[in-house]
Amino acid sequence: MLGTLSSLALILVWLLAPTSAMEGCAPGDVAEKVNTAKKPLEGVALFTATIPQTSRETEPASLSLQLTNLGKERLVFNDRPMETFAVKVKKKDGALLPTTRYFKELIDESKRADRNVLIELASGKKARVTLSLERLFDLSLEGEYLVDVEARFTVKRAAGKIAIENLPFTIRAAPFVRIMKLK
């Protein structure tokens, strides 16, 4: 029970923390340090992307994306993340990371015409999704990475998009696993 309450407290601290261009908590704070980028499209939308500064290769590298409608007209987009957001992860040198089979399945699913659910976001409202980048890209090696993400939507049937580029994050190697001799 205490573990569940601690987990909920961590989630609340993360959700309620104020955001800035690059933010983090002081060492020893409960919440992880995160990198956040915000990109407005004046009078239309605000796009926010947040990722932990550092993750171990065995932990999720969770990219949280949020769209806020800043305009008076409805912001319309698909409920499938790969339809609404174009995501790329690259090394510091600019080389793109290979995608996983799961990523390819999500792309194939987004191309299916038999299901098309649109979200209509009213003025002042927000929508959020969290993507596990390690499921979408090969993040099995330690290193410094950059994520590029583009949000696609329509307003009054006119296509719009906002892009955030070069949001940094780091993957650290987990300790080596060793076989132990039993007594």
Please write the tens of the pLDDT for every residue from 140-159: 889 999 999 999 999 999 99
- State what percent of residues in the chain have pLDDT above 70: 83
Question: Does the model's pTM come out above 0.85?
Answer: no
| pLDDT at residue 170 is higher than 70 | yes
Report pLDDT for 21.
33
| Interval 1-6 mean pLDDT | 42
Distances from the Cα of 100 to the Cα of 90, 106, 133, 134, angstroms: 14, 10, 10, 9
User: According to the CATH classification, is domain 34-172 in 3.20.20.150?
Assistant: no
Q: H/E element holding 168?
A: strand 158-172
**Residue scoring higher pLDDT (148 or 13):** 148
- Residue-wise pLDDT tens digits, 69-109: 999 999 999 999 999 999 999 999 999 999 999 999 998 88
> Which of 27-41, 111-125, 136-150, 160-174 shows the lowest mean pLDDT across its residues?
27-41
Ordered by start, the domain boundaries in the chain are 34-172
- State what percent of residues in the chain have pLDDT above 90: 67
Identify the residue whose tokens are 């993957």: 171
> Max CA-CA distance within the chain?
72
Report pLDDT for 174.
75
Report pLDDT for 52.
96
